[in-house]
A and B are shown apart, each in its own frame.
Chain A
Amino acid sequence: MATQHELAHSAPDAATSETLLGVEGLSVAYGDQQVVSDVSFTLGRGESLALIGESGSGKTTIARTVLRLLPKGARILGGRMDFDGREIAGISDRAFRPLRGAQLGFVPQDPGNALNPVRTIGVQAHETARLLKLKSRGEERERILETFAEVGLPDPKRIYRSHPHELSGGMLQRVLIGLAVMPRPSLIVADEPTSGLDVTIQKVVLDLFEELKRSLGLSLLFITHDLAIAAERADHLVVLKDGVVQEHGPSKSVFANPKSDYTRELQADVPAINPNRYRSIHLARNTAERNALGSQIEVRSVSKTFGDVVAVDDVSFAVQRGKTHALVGESGSGKTTTVRLLLGLEHADGGEIVVGDGVVNGHSRSQWRSVRRHLQLVYQNPFTSLDPTWRVGRIVREPLDRFGVGDKDERRERVAEAIRSVGLPEEMIARKPANLSGGQRQRVAIARALVMRPEVLVLDEPTSALDVTVQAEIIDLLFRLQSELGLTYLFVSHDLSLVRQLADTVSVLHDGRVVEQGTVEKIFANPENPYTQALLQAIPAVPRVDQSRRVLDPAPV
């Protein structure tokens, strides 16, 4: 991690004086709603700046204002933007157009959607290459291939001929970064450039940005929701909330000495920064329940093949009663298939799955019904897992109705109890999901899972669609429920820093196999498998802040 430390400390000294992008008093509104209020910041030549905020903070709107890509209906209410010594907020579209692409590069959030799926990468690269005004198409092609090599794409000629679907997400993002840097702009705006990528790929892409910044003298404007990444990678931070700057300054000092309450809250809520947030609970629980309670779930040598693809290959793990076991892996690791096998949504080709005291694979539909009373699932995305036409009360009551539990009054009482236990006010019962925030929706989904009073909750990335402060609230809630109700959790995630906070034991999955498993302490302190080690290195290494002394020292990984 030494390199990252050097980076964090090596704020470019030579170029700090010269400002490339200056934003002053910027305010933007969509219709009557002001989304950016009086935002000011400056970005020096060769420096990087991160705009940090949660959804609705206005960070993307600011980036779009700089690039003049605001959607219809948005208005700039005031403020000025200076780019390379020239005011650009007031100039005409015609005067602005030569800047975009050539001087201002853009790397979008979702590489999968940013390229035309029916044309080859090469054809689309030529569109950008035309900005260079080279003499011939052959010269353009040469420059494109050079650029692909520059961003670390293997076999540029093959990439040039490929269609987007033939490349992985990480490679597509490299292509897009390449296209953004090819005209040698002085500023690159990157809108959550890694949020759709796996953690190990994320690290590689961020490293590439660092390298290009140094070798080409680029300035970088990062838009991100992830404080840990911003602190590790950017020279300066601007923390936004509801369109208002909460705090800005050099990363190191903002991080060591946050002045605003919101930054402090963010800092406390980011799992990568606080690996030991829940350690006292784990410790208390472990001493209180020293006597082993036995296992609640056992998966023994389970395999599943789809056509030629081996999705799950000889996977075994056990979940202790009342504990949290985490399945960790990147996309394609087989973690989702494993969960679907456990819930009976897919049928295993071989092996045994034991829930409670009975083998469940090979069960009939009605047998599964009784298993699922005690085994409930909380989905990843609360925006899709709740029927938009139903009201909260009915959503939470659905399992009671379907399983025929109790009479009408008892059901109503149990729904109210579940709603209260997840910390929602009872008035929410009459609302529809569209009138709830993401966090509230996920609470509803948890209430629905709890209303049957199950023994096991399967949590499939339950916070990955949520903002980090909301994520912290949901994780708090899950801990409280586990303590109160003695629940067993199977927690599926790609986020190792979250797993470190939450889980007691871990299985690391890679290409459908368990590559390593054990207690959280053992895996995080002493990873043996190279893949586990790579995953751990992908956790952003932020300067650790000692709350009492407020000094910086390297974070042990």
Chain B
Amino acid sequence: MSFAAVPQPAGPRLLSRRRLRVLALPPTVLLSFVIVAIVLLWALFPSLFTSHSPVTAVPTQKFLPISSAHWFGTDYLGRDNFTRVIYGTRSSVLNAFVAVGIGLLVGGVFGLLAGFLGGITDALIGRGVDVLLAIPGFLLAVVLVVSLGFNTINVAIATGITMTAIFARIMRAETLKIRQSVFVESSYLQGGSPLFVLFRHILPNAYRSVLALAVLQLGNAIIIIAAIAFLGYGSPPPASDWGLLISNGANYQQIAPWLIYCPAAVVVITVLSINRISRWLRNTN
């Protein structure tokens, strides 16, 4: 009679394999991370990337096309368009973070409550979410900005509110799924209180897919914020939000197309990169 209690050595192999996994990122994901990192650095330290001023006009140099001196050309006041894009990154991108933060926090809490408590709470929150989803998000954001006042932080708040519904949905679905899992029942059997189970078991397991959604929504938020700025509901000039740059560029589309295409390309590339990262996060769950 042998009691085969075979101790298995803890392998250092796991560590090295994990390190390899970082190197083995799909190339498009790696590229996306690099792009997003550059955009974030623009937002945080714009002066490191350009020696021009975003506001000082140089009348002699207006409407210069793309060149090695002016990568994105210059605008009607002779300001370097690349510099304007870089300085506009902060309000465009950081406000997208604020918007997603609001959506995540408010939507997440409501979704968690709906999924965990169920019953009447779930029904009430669920109908509220339905109403919110029934209104086109962009329209709602514009209405909110108009009533809150025109500036970028209000745009962020408005965008965040339109996003709460979808976060609430996902959070509720995840909570419902995890609430029924065996390890949750096991925790109750081990004497765990509902609050303990909620914060120690359900939240940590739900956050992965909600995180993937948050990243995806970050891309959406950048687009919505740019669109609102395009319509002129964001911060007034001389701010250089991406949407505002595109809007101003549209006035000179015939003579200086780079004023519209360059900022637009930055928006598109940034959003595509973020979407790629989101998809990768979801697939590597």
Contacts and interface: CB of A to CB of B under 8 A. Distances in A.
Contact of B2 (A372, A424, A435, A476): A476
Interface stretch (A74-82, A380-388, A513-521): A380-388
Given A280-B1, A377-B186, A448-B190, 19 more contacts: A343-B189, A345-B185, A372-B189, A379-B186, A385-B182, A385-B183, A386-B183, A387-B204, A387-B205, A388-B205, A389-B205, A399-B191, A402-B187, A402-B191, A423-B6, A431-B10, A440-B8, A476-B3, A476-B5
A477 B191 contact: no
Contacts of A476: 2-5
B71 interface: no
A435 B14 contact: yes
Nearest to A427: B10
Interface string B165-201: 0000000000000000111011101111100100001
B139 to A, nearest CB: 37
Interface string B1-44: 11111111110001000000000000000000000000000000
Contacts of B196: 402
Contacts of A479: 3
Contacts of B192: 398, 402
A381 B183 CA distance: 10
Contact of A377 (B2, B189, B193): B189
B188 to A, nearest CB: 8
Given A280-B1, A379-B182, A387-B205, A398 B187 contact: yes
Given A431-B10, A473-B4, A381 B191 contact: no
A369 B191 contact: yes
Interface in A369-415: 369, 372-373, 376-377, 379, 381, 384-389, 398-399, 402-403
A36 interface: no
Interface residues of A, number: 39
B186 A424 contact: no
A230 interface: no
Residue of A376, A387, A423 with most chain B CB atoms under a 10 A cut-off: A387
Nearest to A380: B182
Nearest to A474: B4
B257 to A, nearest CB: 43
Interface in A473-512: 473, 476-477, 479-480
Interface in A421-473: 422-425, 427-428, 431, 435, 437, 440, 448, 472-473
Contact of B7 (A385, A402, A424): A424
Given A423-B6, A440-B8, A399 B190 contact: yes
Nearest to A378: B186
Nearest to B181: A384
A397 B14 CA distance: 24
Chain B residues touching A, range:
20 to 34
A499 B212 CA distance: 46
- Identify which of A376, A379, A389 gathers the most chain B CB atoms within 10 Å of its CB: A389
Nearest to A481: B3
In this complex, which of A278, A373, A423 has the most chain B Cβ atoms within 10 angstroms of its Cβ? A423
B204 A389 contact: yes
A480 B5 CA distance: 10
A112 to B, nearest CB: 19
A281 interface: yes
29 contacts: A278-B1, A281-B1, A345-B189, A372-B190, A372-B191, A376-B189, A377-B186, A384-B182, A385-B183, A385-B186, A387-B183, A387-B187, A387-B201, A387-B204, A387-B205, A388-B205, A402-B191, A403-B190, A403-B191, A423-B6, A440-B8, A448-B190, A473-B4, A473-B5, A473-B6, A476-B2, A476-B4, A476-B5, A477-B5
Nearest to A398: B190
A312 to B, nearest CB: 19
A485 B204 CA distance: 35
Interface in B102-147: none
Contacts of B3: 423, 476-477, 479-480
A367 to B, nearest CB: 12
Contacts of A343: 189
A399 B7 CA distance: 24
Q: Top 5 nearest A-B pairs by Cβ distance?
A: A423-B5, A402-B191, A399-B190, A427-B10, A389-B204
Contacts of A387: 183, 187, 201, 204-205
B12 to A, nearest CB: 11
Contacts of A448: 190
A345 B180 CA distance: 13
A372 B188 CA distance: 10
B8 A381 contact: no
